Amino acid sequence: MSKLIRWGIASAGKISEDFVIALSTLPSSDHKVQAVAARALDRAQEFATKHGIPKALGSYDELAKSTDVDVVYIGTLNPQHYEVALLMLNNGKHVLCEKPLAMNKKQVEGILAAAKANKRFFMEAVWSRFFPSYQRVKELISSGQLGQVKDVEVNFGFPLAHVSQWAFQEKPEKIESKGTLNAEGIDDDVSATLTYSGGRTARMRFSSKEKLANTAVIKGTKGQVTLIDFWTPNKLIDIDGQVKEWLPPKGKYATNYDNSEAMRYEAEAVRQSIIAGDVENKNVTYADSLLFAEIEDTIRKQIGVLNKYDEQ
């Protein structure tokens, strides 16, 4: 296979635009956006014209059947991830799908089954795991410099189990959560404690009602490391107390969301995995996605958040 990976983009929304801008910061000999599809053709055409994309398509089915696309980035609304991911995989496309991957664990299992049956690369776009700062945390843990991880504390605007899983690398033994719901039955303030082997804990607070610190503090027996704005962590406070920072290059256009240029890291990881013939990436495995969904389902049920997909 040549080094060039040809991307198709499913959805012409803001997050898809940011992904295309991030791709523009990578070598054009490695990444090319070949097509964009939206449910309204005019949206796709407008998007394609702005970003110099050869093909604009008015349906996801046309994208799935495009012979000049290797891998599809799915940036649709969350409830559409399941059907669009199945469509792409069953038509032989590799897939990078935005998070959360699906509406519950059952849907995640269905997507992963399709990826395995079609022998296609598939990954949930947990972009932060590919940041240099996250790789630094992984290095500190695996080399033993942090010692044994005892405690992870995360504060953010919405649930992010993947941070504690990055630190502990095992399934929690117990999940305890409580929270409040708004008038629409959506969780707006949640606290959760995940307990791991040896009594080690991850404490998470997510709130849409107030601004939280947006940090992840990972404490080991030999020291601690803090990811700052850990959702898009260009910097961290290292084990020696020094601040380290890695800034991604800017694209031709400003992104819709802060620091989206850093999606370049996951995009390049996808390219390398596909070239290597891998069907999953070691930083976000199939097992990781299943566990994220299981943790999220458990927390939702404990605080009383239901969705119609649970009954299907």
Residue 199 corresponds to which tokens in the numbers above? 């009594």
Domain 132-245 homologous superfamily, CATH: Dihydrodipicolinate Reductase; domain 2 (3.30.360.10)
Residue 242 corresponds to which tokens in the numbers above? 């020094």
What φ, ψ does residue 70 adopt, rounded to 5°? -90, -45
Distances in Å between the alpha carbon of 30 and those of 20, 163, 222?
A: 14, 29, 41
Q: Which residues of the chain have pLDDT under 50?
A: 1
Helices 105-118 and 286-303: angle between axes, nearest 10 degrees = 170
Could you tell me the residue ranges of all domains in the chain?
5-126+264-281, 132-245
Check residue 18 and give its pLDDT: 98
Q: For the whole model, what pTM was predicted?
A: 0.95
Q: For 134-177, what is each residue's pLDDT tens digit?
A: 999 999 999 999 999 999 999 876 556 788 899 999 999 999 99
Check residue 210 and give its pLDDT: 77
Domain 5-126+264-281 homologous superfamily, CATH: NAD(P)-binding Rossmann-like Domain (3.40.50.720)
Does the fold of domain 132-245 match that of domain 5-126+264-281? no
Check residue 162 and give its pLDDT: 81
In the block, tokens 């992904």 appear at 19
Residue type, 132: P
